[in-house]
Amino acid sequence: NHLLEIKNLHAGVDDKKILKGINLTINPGEVHAVMGPNGSGKSTLASILAGREGYDVTEGQVLYDGKDLLEMDPEERAREGVFLAFQYPVEIPGVNSTYFLKAALNEIRKHKGLPELDAMEFLQLVKQKVKLLELPEDLLKRPVNEGFSGGEKKRNEIFQMAVLEPKLSVLDETDSGLDIDALKVVANGVNKLKSKNNAQLVITHYQRLLDYIIPDFVHVLYNGKIVKTGDKSLALELEKRGYDWVISHEPVSA
């Protein structure tokens, strides 16, 4: 069984067609990067996988572990082992970020038939993950994302991913001004958490991110379609030649 199978996915907002037939298959152990110029549909793809409202899927399907992902609500996706960045509360003053994380983790564990972790056990796990990712310990003492910089939000996100141990992680690195340190935090997390049992889908327009992550597959999204797939050398080629090299022979469509 494949972990994720996106088949001929067409989707849009209101009358606007954005995704025009996406095919993408992800197996356990693989890291996939989806790249593409601004406006190509990357965030729309991430949003649909996350189950965000407002998007209409008009054709095709998405199977996760053989099940219809699009039928699941966001909580169900999380329970089934899909990690979607920013799924958890963004800014709640006075509430410690680990509070939500413990609840989310225990929800997942219950679903797997594992016993819930008590406060002590959870703390042990948290410390272990902080060490693994080489994160600053004071990250945990701050209220959920309150007053966090872009880089700190990324740290928090990667930390959540480490604790929840998802089968599939979907990271959308949007163009909201991430500096090189924040990119390194993301890359380090992806590299350290990679295993033969999980897969990661990293959606980004930052070609530089792929200086730090070595993806098994690189896909170029353009005008709602994957127009080219390759290995990490495709990312290097894109860095040298730009997107025009890939898309120049694509027919312009409405």
Q: Are strands 31-35 and 217-222 parallel, antiparallel or unpaired?
A: parallel
Compute the least distance from the CB of residue 204 to ligand ADP, in Å: 10
Strand, helix or coil for residue 11: strand
Closest CA to 186 of 60, 85, 92: 85
44 binds, among Mg ion, ligand ADP, none (CB under 5 to 8 A by kind): ligand ADP
Compute the least distance from the CB of residue 244 to ligand ADP, in Å: 16
Compute the least distance from the CB of residue 18 to Mg ion, in Å: 11
Compute the least distance from the CB of residue 220 to Mg ion, in Å: 14
95 binds, among Mg ion, ligand ADP, none (CB under 5 to 8 A by kind): none
The residues that touch ligand ADP, with contacts defined as CB under 6 A, are 13, 16, 18, 36, 38-44, 54
Closer residue to Mg ion (CB): 42 or 194: 42
CA distance 90 to 21: 32
CA distance 143 to 232: 38
Return the bridge partners of 96, or none: 143
13 binds, among ligand ADP, Mg ion, none (CB under 5 to 8 A by kind): ligand ADP
The residues that touch Mg ion, with contacts defined as CB under 5 A, are 38, 42-43, 174
With tokens 């899927």, the residue in question is 57
Compute the least distance from the CB of residue 1 to ligand ADP, in Å: 28
40 binds, among Mg ion, ligand ADP, none (CB under 5 to 8 A by kind): ligand ADP
97 binds, among ligand ADP, Mg ion, none (CB under 5 to 8 A by kind): none
Q: Which two tokens stand for residue 111?
A: 């679903």
CA distance 219 to 223: 13
Q: Which two tokens stand for residue 137?
A: 């310990």
φ, ψ at 158 (rounded to 5°): -70, -35
